Structure 1
């Protein structure tokens, strides 16, 4: 009986400290990294003069997964976030807005190149994922 009371007391005390995880989209370290990859990917696809730094991208991917795991997210939760059509659409819209704000005209590949070069020169995370051919 004493063990049962002790166990219930411990569970009751720890229950107050247990909190639900926020969605990964609300974890800025994760979401910002995914955004930067999405923008860099769009730039390299649209600009014929810029390519991807694949090793950097893979390293960032592993770092983001590791960060998410350290925050208590499971591989299934991480993959659900990455595979979500809703999240992909949100990221696409956010990226397109960012690119437009920075002077990209969807029908002009050179406008993507200009933004890519600017990001490379700034040494931003987006720029670190890109290189000029």
Structure 2
């Protein structure tokens, strides 16, 4: 077999292996981070009566993230496993609690959620775009 044919055969055989070598969805920052921003915004809107979540915007983004994950080669089953995973929920919850604490938010003080929410809205941050002042 010539070298060219050998290289071509190796490439053809390697393509399925490369396609399956995907990182866990938690490591795909463009997906994981956006879900994190939505989760923080949701937590703020749940605890601050003067701020509501932009739920339709969040739902639209979530559908877009699902489509992006599918385009990256993740199956609906893999996506559902990531979203439903208790370990991933715990990881996201811990990350969110750290962010809230670093920004002076306390569950004993609902106004602290409002303060952070107004700040995020004013900055038009990645979190703030999912919030609206009532």
Using the size of structure 1 for normalisation, the TM-score is 0.88
Shift of 1:124: 1.2
How many positions carry a matched residue from both structures?
127
Output the CA distance in 1 between the equivalents of 2:98 and 2:14: 41
What stretches of structure 2 of length at least 5 have no aligned partner?
none
Q: Aligned with 2:127: secondary structure? A: helix
Aligned to 1:15: 13
Note the alpha carbon deviations across 1:96-115, whole angstroms, 9 max, x for none.
Answer: 00011111012100000111
Alignment of 1:16-95 (within 5 A): 16-17=14-15, 18-19=17-18, 20-95=21-96
- Work out whether 1:100 is the aligned partner of 2:101: yes
Aligned to 2:129: 128
Note the alpha carbon deviations across 1:60-91, whole angstroms, 9 max, x for none.
Answer: 11111111111010111111110000000000
Output the CA distance in 2 between the equivalents of 1:16 and 1:53: 44
Aligned to 2:110: 109
Q: Aligned with 2:23: secondary structure? A: coil
Using the size of structure 2 for normalisation, the TM-score is 0.88
What stretches of structure 1 of length at least 5 have no aligned partner?
1-5
